[in-house]
Structure 1
Amino acid sequence: MTATADAPHLLVVDDDSRLRALLQRFLTEQGFRITAAADAAAARHALTSVAFDLMVLDVMMPGESGLELTESLRREGQDVPILMLTARGAPDDRVTGFEHGVDDYLAKPFDPRELALRIRTILRRAAPPPVADLSGGPVQLGIRWFDPQRAELRGPEGVVRLTGGEQALLLALAARPNEVLSREEIAEALGTPEAGERAIDVQVTRLRRKIEPDPREPRFVQTVRHRGYILRPGA
């Protein structure tokens, strides 16, 4: 399979030239368009000129690490989905990645087929859902509102940027307002069924920062002890 002009465009960032070349070749064969960068500085330069569909990012790089780059990009409002590659795949490492704003986490060594599968899962999650699939109107969240048909959060300041994970989480909650969703159900909706409870809690915390007047006292995304989370829309 060769990449077409409208194929998803990925930015692969890894300081290991051999792995970078292998990833570039394999992902091109999988039908993706690929731009490669050797470090965070080269990635930043590429991001200034291209709107990438997803970034595959190594966590351990000389200079600015993958986690530092992710955190910086999120602060700057960059919502490009990020799949982090790392030699450390313990649950705490995954949670740290989610806390910094990554959308998924894959430990080295990995099966290239799993990498391609996870990339496609993130891209599906980030894509606006078909209008026909969601009949509900906008969900009011105080001074902001979420349009499920556009998968778009808006407020007085305009469109509020959401990462792919935050968008998928809010879509799942908005599809079943005033119903409790277990962490397992949320993990399935996010396309990360293997995610632990702490990883889900981190995603909820990140979403609350964007919709709650006071994230420490959430009004809209509430915790139901021992059961999960519930979205309670309202003005």
Structure 2
Amino acid sequence: MRADVMVAEDDEKQAGLVRLYLEREGHAVTVVSDGRAVLDRVRHHEPDLLVLDVMMPHLDGLEVLRVLRGEERELPVLMLTARSTEDDLLTGLGLGADDYMTKPYSPRELVARIRTLLRRTKRTTSPAGRGVSVGGLRVDPDRHEVSLDGVPVDCTPAEFRLLEAMAAEPDRVFTRQRLLEELHGFTRYVSDRTVDMHISNLRKKLEPEPRRPVRLLTVFGVGYKLTDPTTATRHHAR
């Protein structure tokens, strides 16, 4: 699947290596070396996916991501960083990153992660989506769209994947490990807090009171479930 990929990396050698591997995969690659240039390029021609280094001149990758998500762009973002602490990782995920790799990394694995993200975010032009609804929440995998009471909701690819899985089986309790497996990319690198961060972000978008959720419920000691707030009982959950 050919895609337009932007690589934001100020290390010329590293950027060249990533470009080489991605072009071998058949992708068109644009390389930029500072955060301001990323924002300018994305606003003029949004790529299919952004590989975003955290440490860049003028504007770091986290600030770039904060701006892009503030503009409600659904652009898939894979972050690269030399930092490996969980707090740094969760900051990136909290801002809406879809995947995260720490340096040094294997270029082949990077390409595989990109392939997975692109497959997850591929849109189709099917006129009749096979979407599922849970209460007023509708998730349409064919169109890659989410709406709440008819109003579109912008979700990152990772958020969409979690909603897609949970909406397919409403009221089923998903363990954190099961949800990590749905993400296909975080499992070996992060803790259960990854899922907690994505759920927290989704609650901000879907719940009238995120601290008192009625759709995305916590089942203590187990995980999460998606339910219809008009019919759900809240036994052992909040």
Q: Structure 2 length normalisation: TM-score?
A: 0.88
Aligned to 1:70: 65
- SS of alignment partner, residue 174 of structure 1: helix
Counterpart of 1:221?
Answer: 216
Separation of aligned partners in 2, 1:233 and 1:68: 36
Counterpart residue type for residue 44 of structure 1: L
Query: Residue 224 of structure 2 aligns to a residue in which SS?
Result: strand
Aligned-residue identity in percent: 38
Q: Alpha-carbon deviation of 1:229?
A: 0.2
CA distance in 2, matches of 1:200, 1:58: 22
Deviations 1:104-162 (A, max 9, x none): 1000000111101111111122224898xx96632324xx5333453321246742211
1:84 aligns with 2:79: yes
Q: Which moved more, 1:218-227 or 1:116-125?
A: 116-125
Match of 2:47 in 1: 52
Which residue matches 1:179?
172
Q: Return the match for 2:138 from 125, 145, 155.
A: 145
**Alpha carbons 2:123, 2:143 under 8 Å: kept:** yes
Contact 1:83 1:106 (8 Å CA) reproduced: yes
Question: What's 1:38 paired with?
Answer: 33
3-state SS in 2 of match to 1:214: coil
RMSD: 2.1
Where does residue 166 of structure 1 map in the other structure? 159
Farther off after superposition, 201-210 or 14-23: 14-23
SS in 2 for 1:109: coil
SS for the counterpart of 1:83 is strand
- The alpha-carbon distance between structure 1 residues 135 and 15, as it changes in their structure 2 partners (threshold 3 A), is closer
Q: Which secondary structure state, in structure 2, belongs to the residue aligned with residue 48 of structure 1?
A: helix
Unaligned runs of 5+ in 1: 1-5
Contact 1:54–1:81, Cα closer than 8 Å, also in 2: yes
Structure 2 portions without partners, runs of 5+: 231-238
Q: Is the 8 A contact 1:13 1:40 kept in 2?
A: yes
- C-alpha distance in 2 between matches for 1:70 and 1:179: 33
Aligned with 2:212: secondary structure? coil
Partners of 2:132 and 2:33 in 1: how far apart?
Answer: 44
Question: Number of aligned pairs?
Answer: 226
Q: In 1, distance between residues paired with 2:73 and 2:142?
A: 22
